[in-house]
Copies of this chain bind each other. A is one copy, B any other.
């Protein structure tokens, strides 16, 4: 995701300094496009107006921002950290506080969309944070996405929206898993069912994920199952903190956990649909390996 976004920003004429925890990736990108590679996060940000972070989980973000030679150390006063990663509400609150202490700006701007949407600048960008800061960087959001939303003055508000959105996608996957299992056992063509449902919902998301699940095409992973599980858990944590039960999310958490127990951590998250299939006594393709 990150490299697609970076390419779009460079393409729009912005000067980028790159940092990747795996430095090879940063170099590869830099060679293809005129960009500078930094040795540490602190070096990367020392003269910038804004730094974007796109990392896999809360721990990575905390390390890169608050660790030694981290962003918080190097970022000039007044400059902004724009966090695109899907992280927890709690970490977003922590980052907001830490940056405020240093007179730095912080915005959460998680995105919806698969890697190809990132490549094509077609992401949905959900921002939250001080309105003036969001306005300042609105043109940049326009480069990476097709829509920019403002969810409020508190950065974590955007993160909650992102987590709940991912929960809704994961729920859809489970419903495909349950109905496909029933179709297959009953003797109804589940591919036809998928075709009908795609027409009914008229949604590319139903069409795309439904096809992957119908065909059990879970590799290569667009989004790894272990990251999907992380997001369902973070949604549940955020809901828990405001005393809101989410029974579907709890069930999903169990099914994602079962998927982990069956070695699916690196498969696409849509493979959670294999769990109801196994419960119905159907052996998924990958169990034959």
* Contact digits for A143-172, partner B, Cβ 8 Å, 1 yes 0 no: 000010101100001001100110110011
Q: Please tell me if the beta carbons of A206 and B196 are within 8 angstroms of each other in the complex.
A: no
A200 on interface, CB distance cutoff 8 Å: yes
In the assembled complex, the Cα of A182 lies from the Cα of B156 at a distance in Å of 13
Residues of B within 8 Å of A279, CB to CB, are 244-245, 247, 254, 258, 261, 275, 279
Which residues of A approach B to under 8 Å, CB–CB? 89, 112, 124, 126, 147, 149, 151-152, 157, 160-161, 164-165, 167-168, 171-172, 174-176, 178-179, 181-183, 185-189, 192-193, 195-197, 199-206, 235, 238-251, 253-255, 257-258, 260-263, 275-276, 278-281
Contacts of A204 in B (CB 8 A): 202
In the complex, what's the smallest C-beta–C-beta distance from A43 to chain B, in angstroms?
Answer: 34
- Chain B residues with Cβ below 8 Å from A160 are 182-183, 186, 188
A175-B182 in contact given A188-B160, A246-B254, A262-B281 (Cβ < 8 Å): no
**In the bound complex, CA of A251 to CA of B200 (Å):** 23
Q: Are B276 and A245 in contact (CB under 8 A)?
A: yes
A150 to chain B, nearest CB (A): 8
A248-B178 in contact (CB<8A): yes
Q: Which residue of B has the minimal Cβ distance to A154?
A: B187
Asked if residues B182 and A147 are in contact (CB atoms below 8 Å), the reply is no
What residues of B have a CB within 8 angstroms of the CB of A262 in the complex? 281
Can you list 13 A-B pairs with a CB-CB distance of less than 8 A? A161-B183, A164-B183, A165-B196, A165-B197, A168-B175, A178-B245, A182-B238, A182-B242, A182-B246, A243-B260, A245-B279, A245-B280, A247-B276
A50 to chain B: closest CB distance in Å? 23
Q: How far is the CA of A267 from the CA of B262 in the complex (A)?
A: 25
Provide the residues of chain B in CB contact with A200, threshold 8 Å.
112, 124, 165, 205
Smallest distance from the beta carbon of A182 to chain B beta carbons, Å?
4
Chain B residues within 8 Å of A187, by CB: 152, 157
CA distance A255 to B164 in the complex (A): 20
Nearest 7 A-B pairs (CB), nearest first? A261-B281, A203-B203, A245-B254, A250-B250, A185-B242, A243-B261, A244-B280
